[in-house]
Amino acid sequence: MFRTRPLDHLILILGALFLLVPVLVAFMTSTHTATEIHRSGLTLLPGDNFAATYTKVLTQQGGFTGQITGARMLMNSAILGIGFALGKIVLSMLAAYALVYFRFRLAVPMFWVIFTTLLLPLEVRIMPSYQVMAQLGLLNSYTGLIVPLLASATGTFYFRQFFKSVPDELLEAARIDGAGPVKFFIDILIPLSRSMIAAIFIIMFVYGWNQYLWPMLMTTEERFFTLMRGIKSILQVWVGSNIPDYNEAFALAVLAMLPPVAVVVIFQRWFIKGLTESDK
């Protein structure tokens, strides 16, 4: 039998602490008042301002126009994250379906064109994308926020690889069973891809949730602000003798962390399966 040695545990504990302590510090610090934080820095001990701070960031209207609350920003981030993830899954599944199951001219070159765009980060095309959206009059709208980022080389690539691993006999059996292309996609392929969909959903949700640059360019009205921008704007008010609301920034950061964590926890089982095995 393999004997567990204390050293192994020590390494694991250190690793866990390394990841957990910053989160803990952020949470604990957020329960103190801004003045305390400014005076004594980060802390590991809980303060007594938890309820006050969190109620304030979630409900108090802030920003320049006074229209935006933390809850609103949470909602915006959620719309962005979910819209992103779902849109990308639908688009990339359809694209991969076409690439794998239909014989058409230039399918392979097309795939490689899509694939190479994996190498280009969003920032490379951010200006042209912005201009297109501006000319379509889609600035300051959810459509403008979400649609330009939907085409996903990563998703298409993953789904293509997955579809290729589905045995051909399934398609043939379905054809003999009288399932056309649409039926095969809906009845067979989508249920088979469940774990893949879960995996992509997590990755894309977190990606969308964490978007910062794109929402900043696309939206100028505060009612479209996402959490990421909210945190930033709290720290920007360092004017005169104001102390920045560190506690609020930390509280927002903690809040911003929760939904992705929730998504990962919920989809975790499928997620791991999707990345490691193709269940046949």
Q: Please, which residue, 48 or 169, has the CB nearer to another protein?
A: 169
Contacts 24+ apart (CB under 8 A), 209-217: 209/77, 209/78, 209/80, 209/81, 209/256, 209/259, 209/260, 210/260, 211/80, 211/84, 211/149, 213/122, 213/123, 213/126, 214/122, 214/126, 214/145, 214/149, 215/80, 215/145, 217/126, 217/130
Q: Please, which residue, 123 or 279, has the CB nearer to another protein?
A: 279
Of positions 191, 236, 239, 240, contacts another protein by CB under 8 A: 191
Q: Please, which residue, 190 or 217, has the CB nearer to another protein?
A: 190
By CB under 8 A, residue 187 contacts another protein:
yes
Q: What number of chain residues touch another protein (CB under 8 A)?
A: 19
Least distance (Å) between residue 272 CB and another protein: 18
Rg (CA), the chain: 23
By CB under 8 A, residue 105 contacts another protein:
no
Of positions 194, 223, 243, 261, contacts another protein by CB under 8 A: 194
Stretch that binds another protein, among 150-158, 183-191, 227-235, 246-254 (CB under 8 A): 183-191
By CB under 8 A, residue 176 contacts another protein:
yes
Give the helix/strand (H/E) hosting 230. helix 227-235
Q: Please, which residue, 26 or 188, has the CB nearer to another protein?
A: 188
Find the distance separating the first CA and the last CA of the chain, reported in whole Å: 34
